[in-house]
Amino acid sequence: MTPDAKRSSLLEELRRRHPELSPRLQQAARHILDHPNQAALSTVTALSEAAGVQPSALIRLAQAVGFSGFSEMQKVLQSALVAASPSYGERVHQLRAAGTGGGAMGLLEQAGALNQLSLQNLIDTVDAAALDRAIALLAAAPLVHVVGQRRSHPVAGYIAYGLTRSGKAARLMAGAAGMLRDETETMRPGDALVVISLHPYSADAVETASWAAAHGVSVVAMSDGPLSPLLPFASVALDVRDAELFGFRALVAQMCLAQVLVLGVLQAGRPVGP
């Protein structure tokens, strides 16, 4: 088995075993699934701090999936990086470790660099077939509904605005005055729903996606990784991950993907020239 195949097998085992793990081990597993390259490069102490668990949790997690300890599991992750160029996760980890100068300009430099990496990662890892499928679903739907709660709300607002401005029937489901469920129940079979939710996930967004999938509405989910609760309800899922700076996640990659969806729908609606 190749190093890449061994890494994929390990990550799949962590995903499969996740529901049966204790809360702390679930937290550790989620961090490794979201940041496998950081897990390959970090010391157990640094990784435990990043994951918000004790080092012993990482050791117990490794043992739970059949390794003698964390170091043995980490070697599987490391082996896949030996011949590879620095990936997104590795570059983000290196950038954070290096730091920048102080003051507002230092923050601007670091935020700018991290956001550039987020965009490059989106370009490098986007599933082209899934992106085409998402655009086709939205273009074919008579009405597109868009929902995104908390920090995903600006992304949802941009998609609804962009589609409407381009002549596509769309509406933002804001859930004002606690009426999200009422808005949800106005969706009709054949409509499409764009739902944006990243960890920690919005229960309202997941519930909306669940209702839509059960009532003949195509669901385009923008989320982050194999543990997203949106995946069981998605007609098509788009994996998007922005870097975080001091706990604040950027929206750059999400907004870029949102822009591509809007432009793709607009392009799909144009007549083909002679």
String of DSSP letters for 108-158: HHHHHHHHHHHHHHHHHH--HHHHHHHHHHHHH-S-EEEEE-GGGHHHHHH
Q: Which band of pLDDT confidence, cut at 50, 70 and 90, is reported for residue 133?
A: very high
Report the alpha-carbon angle 167-168-174, nearest 5: 120
Task: Say if residue 188's pLDDT is above 50.
Answer: yes
Q: Nearest-CA neighbor of 209 among 224, 192, 226, 225? A: 192
Fold for the domain defined by 126-268: Rossmann fold (3.40.50)
Lookup: tokens for 25: 């081990």
- Residues 192-228: pLDDT tens digits? 999 999 887 889 999 999 999 999 999 999 998 777 8
Fold for the domain defined by 3-79: Arc Repressor Mutant, subunit A (1.10.10)
Task: Say if residue 262's pLDDT is above 90.
Answer: yes
Strands 236-239, 244-245: pairing is unpaired
- Residue predicted with more confidence, 60 or 46: 60
Show me where the domains of the chain are located. Answer: 3-79, 88-124, 126-268
pLDDT at residue 85 in the model: 46
Task: Say if residue 5's pLDDT is above 60.
Answer: yes
Average pLDDT over residues 131-137: 96
Residue with the two structure tokens 């793990």: 21
Residue 91: half-sphere exposure toward Cβ, Cα within 13 Å: 16
- Residue predicted with more confidence, 15 or 34: 15
What does pTM read for this prediction?
Answer: 0.72
Q: What percent of the chain has pLDDT over 90?
A: 52
pLDDT at residue 90 in the model: 54
- Residue predicted with more confidence, 201 or 249: 201
Question: Which helix or strand (DSSP H or E) is residue 239 part of?
Answer: strand 236-239
Q: What is the mean pLDDT of the chain?
A: 86
pLDDT at residue 155 in the model: 96
pLDDT at residue 41 in the model: 73
- Residues 57-99: pLDDT tens digits? 999 999 999 999 999 999 888 887 654 544 555 555 555 555 5
For the chain, what's the residue count?
274
Average pLDDT over residues 187-191: 97
Average pLDDT over residues 24-43: 85
